[in-house]
A and B are shown apart, each in its own frame.
Chain A
């Protein structure tokens, strides 16, 4: 079986989608490692899946809802919401201007 190669560009694209900054070394490393993993999971092709329904929920539950207007016992009062933030101004979270 031919090994799947992920190119530098592939890795950089994925890094961008994932909002990760990678060093050149990391890019190199992930080219290999991702390729290896992709190669490994190819064994799934040995099973016939044409007519199989995909499982995204293993609970068999359906229709789980809450009732609109229920008492809110979890609201973060006062300054609780921003307590863990590194950068805040008054009651706002702050990031570097984006527009």
Chain B
């Protein structure tokens, strides 16, 4: 019996995304801290000097609402900031300004479309179009950075106070594949929204999966119906959960979850309940390891931030924050409107840069005129294929790309006389192929098409050649000649 049939994984995610605003969350220091000398991007506020007070950045709040809307959340009409207390050298005030019981957005969902990966993992029970519930989306401030050197830990507060959005999911995942696809989808959405680079390596996107397992008896297992959007079904949540931190790629998220599941099953099978703890991940050894916990008690003593008045969002204000076309919608449009194959549409829409490049090309005035004049109804599909098959690089300047594309799509000016003569000659010369075709070997005609194309040096349309060949072969005149 598969081990997982005895234990059901229960996985939830905490995702942090640094917002790409100009200023930090509560002061006017630059949010872009990359490449700056240590502690040169600070002020009394983000350095936590005595007497300094926070004032929130409006843009960061609007962008959090945008993320909330893109994830189908309810935007709270009233929201506030709270203080979350713990001691750590990278946290200048001894508390982080975060949101506790009135976050900006709650109760959303994100669907994923997991067919790309369904064959990769054997224990995956992936389905298409799964819903995962988003518990909340809230806004907080980032901490400084620590650097461990010899017997010292060095602290740099350039990053302190950068706006950080936390997205929390329900523990709806039961396998690491879904997690990976979900994260890729989320990352793509964040990038489409233009609110963050969401770069795992740079740390502008960070994932903390929490992993646990619940024991099921066979009877329960049968009765557990997978309700879309509520995979927990009737099963109670486990009494513990293990949070894994410091993971800097989606691949490692998946590996860390898989390792954790194995580790925890081994314990559970011995009748030991895994310890509730925070663990780190070592990508070289592909293992998780126990960390000395930041605050063993995890009693953050939240209370409403007295320095910041509450926020109120009117219907009108919320409505004015517009969600742009998201990857899934764009994919559907490419399929339905342009007739792209699903895989092609998927590849194009994955990268914001690629899809925007594609959009620029296909909506270009010259390209549109060309399409109308030459009656190329599937022009977009052609452009998509040129991009996907790397016939042209998207690094090209738009004008250069368009020029070359139009050359490639120029309908072939065919010398009809020459073509007809050639076809007649070929049919006569290739009696075997003609016979094969007549016997029903459809492929045989492709040999002839190839011959014609070569002779015509490409200056003919394959479709026209095929129809001409077919017409000629079944021509009674020709038959009588035989």
Contacts and interface: CB of A to CB of B under 8 A. Distances in A.
Given A65-B55, A99-B153, A81 B89 contact: no
Interface in A21-58: 56-57
A66 B27 CA distance: 8
Given A64-B56, A98-B146, A76 B152 contact: no
A57 B312 CA distance: 14
Contacts of B310: 57, 62
A86 interface: no
B265 to A, nearest CB: 29
B21 to A, nearest CB: 5
A73 B28 CA distance: 8
A60 to B, nearest CB: 8
Interface residues of A, number: 38
B42 A81 contact: yes
Interface of A: 13, 16-17, 19, 56-57, 59, 61-78, 81-82, 89-99
Given A17-B299, A72-B23, A66 B56 contact: yes
Interface stretch (B134-142, B301-309, B460-468): B301-309
A13 to B, nearest CB: 7
A98 B21 CA distance: 31
Contacts of B340: none
A74 B61 CA distance: 22
Contact of B39 (A70, A71, A72, A92): A92
A57 B55 contact: no
A13 B295 CA distance: 12
Contacts of B27: 72, 74
B384 interface: no
B304 A81 contact: no
B147 A92 contact: yes
A93 B155 contact: yes
B40 A81 contact: yes
A91 B57 contact: no
Given A62-B309, A69-B22, A94-B155, A74 B56 contact: no
B44 A74 contact: yes
B284 interface: no
Contact of B41 (A13, A59, A75, A82): A75
B106 to A, nearest CB: 20
Given A57-B310, A75-B41, A75-B42, A92 B155 contact: yes
Contacts of B146: 98-99
A57 B80 CA distance: 11
A47 to B, nearest CB: 21
Given A93-B154, A99-B148, A76 B61 contact: no
B315 interface: no
B304 A56 contact: yes
Contact of B152 (A66, A68, A73, A96): A96
Contacts of B55: 64-66
